[in-house]
Chains A and B, each alone.
Chain A
């Protein structure tokens, strides 16, 4: 006589295909004649089908927020790379307009600068320059002239690289850069003229230095134009 609880363990194994053929045959034969074990078999089948229909459960929404904080805290999420000056002031979604934007910003800068130069050359200074001793003023002018020499050398060095870079750029973009350079050169000449007219005026030299500095920045932008776009 067969003991049902023992057979039921075999039924469980038989359903998983984990029973050798001889015991599997014994199980099948027993199930034909035992209502209790048949019910047990059906119940396990029902459970199996029920388990097959179980759906994955949604985690709470804040789990991702917590995870994100921890990822940042451990430095697994990298922060965005730092942008260059020009890239930071230009619109990100309109790469085609970047040169136009840089031109507009430059034009604004030049406009303000030109007004100041005009004031320097045609009228008395907007802000009275405090009186300085002759020797002190000479030292200051000498320092400014040295700085101008350095900027000119930098511009000369960058000009070669930027010319090569412009040749490899998209013609439309290259033209925008050429236009910007031309505007910058015009402004530089204006500043130089102001210095010639008032060679002893430190403010004129400072504006000339600022113009050189901006030209260096523009040339650097052209040379590194890949990272800008």
Chain B
């Protein structure tokens, strides 16, 4: 069964069509939820809500964009709505932007500390999960999901410049978190400390 057939089947209430569509998109929806909220139980709950919304609204899908894009945007909206409902006003990008303690210390004239070879999948997933929420959302949307800054600005209700700035700080923080995992660098830092 193709995706188009599955969509038509869902509109008609065919149980098999729902399962086909779920299997086609479950990993992407769940990954997005988990990376955005970190908590597996919450990610599961959000994924279920996203699919339910999708199946409730599937009759309104007109095919103007790719189905995956439509579904993805719907999932992002659900995640952000849920985060806001849970009192994550701190997702307000401005607050994180001005929060100096999330930024790595400024280092001038340090040695070459490139991360090449260090960024394995698990380490990277953990580092992304450790990002402050505001940074994490922008980083996941831009660097993982491929959203443009103007889209992120619209979704988050901020300026494009704000989104770019948040992304830079997210990358800076991520680099710092990954460098902390690098034994070679840790040794150097220990030697340098008084």
Residues of A within 8 A of B (CB): 4-5, 8-9, 12-13, 16, 18, 35-36, 38-40, 42-44, 46-51, 53-60, 63-64, 66-68, 70-71, 74, 76-78
Tell me if A12 and B28 are in contact (CB < 8 A): no
- Does B26 reach chain A (CB closer than 8 Å)? yes
Report how far A64 CA is from B124 CA in the complex, Å: 28
Q: How far is the CB of A20 from chain B (nearest CB, A)?
A: 13
Tell me if A70 and B52 are in contact (CB < 8 A): yes
Residues of chain B contacted by A8 (CB below 8 angstroms):
168, 172
Count of CB-CB pairs between chains A and B under 8 Å: 124
Nearest first, the 6 A-B pairs at minimum CB distance are: A78-B13, A50-B119, A56-B27, A59-B30, A42-B114, A46-B115
Provide 17 A-B residue pairs closer than 8 Å at the C-beta atoms, listed in order of the A residue. Answer: A36-B107, A43-B179, A44-B171, A47-B174, A47-B178, A51-B124, A56-B27, A56-B31, A64-B19, A67-B22, A67-B52, A70-B48, A71-B52, A77-B13, A77-B14, A77-B18, A78-B15
Residues of chain A contacted by B175 (CB below 8 angstroms):
40, 43-44, 47
Report how far A95 CA is from B55 CA in the complex, Å: 34
Residues of chain B contacted by A54 (CB below 8 angstroms):
121, 124-125, 144
Report how far A16 CA is from B174 CA in the complex, Å: 17
Q: How far is the CB of B34 from chain A (nearest CB, A)?
A: 6
Q: Which of B47, B109, B117, B124 contacts A59 (CB 8 A)?
A: B47
Residues of chain B contacted by A66 (CB below 8 angstroms):
48
Judged by DSSP, the binding face of B is helix
Closest to A57 in B: B31
Contacts beyond the supplied A9-B165, A70-B52: 6 A-B pairs with Cβ under 8 Å: A42-B116, A46-B119, A47-B171, A48-B143, A64-B22, A70-B48
Residues of B within 8 A of A (CB): 12-15, 18-19, 22, 26-31, 34, 40, 44, 47-48, 51-52, 55-56, 106-121, 124-125, 143-144, 149, 164-165, 167-168, 171-172, 174-175, 178-179
Tell me if B108 and A42 are in contact (CB < 8 A): no
Q: How far is the CB of A96 from chain B (nearest CB, A)?
A: 25
Q: How far is the CB of A13 from chain B (nearest CB, A)?
A: 6
Tell me if B30 and A58 are in contact (CB < 8 A): yes
Report how far A51 CA is from B52 CA in the complex, Å: 29
Report how far A43 CA is from B119 CA in the complex, Å: 9
Residues of chain B contacted by A16 (CB below 8 angstroms):
167
Q: How far is the CB of A62 from chain B (nearest CB, A)?
A: 9
Closest to B43 in A: A59
Q: A12-B168, A60-B44, A76-B56 are in contact. Are A47 and B14 (CB under 8 A)?
A: no
Residues of chain B contacted by A67 (CB below 8 angstroms):
18, 22, 48, 51-52
Residues of chain B contacted by A4 (CB below 8 angstroms):
108
Closest to B119 in A: A50
Closest to B175 in A: A43
Tell me if A56 and B119 are in contact (CB < 8 A): no
Residues of chain A contacted by B112 (CB below 8 angstroms):
35, 38-39
Report how far A70 CA is from B106 CA in the complex, Å: 51
Tell me if A12 and B171 are in contact (CB < 8 A): yes
Residues of chain B contacted by A48 (CB below 8 angstroms):
143
Report how far A39 CA is from B112 CA in the complex, Å: 5
Closest to B56 in A: A76
Q: How far is the CB of A47 from chain B (nearest CB, A)?
A: 6
Closest to B160 in A: A18
Closest to A10 in B: B168
Closest to B110 in A: A36
Report how far A44 CA is from B143 CA in the complex, Å: 11
Q: How far is the CB of B167 from chain A (nearest CB, A)?
A: 7
Residues of chain B contacted by A38 (CB below 8 angstroms):
112
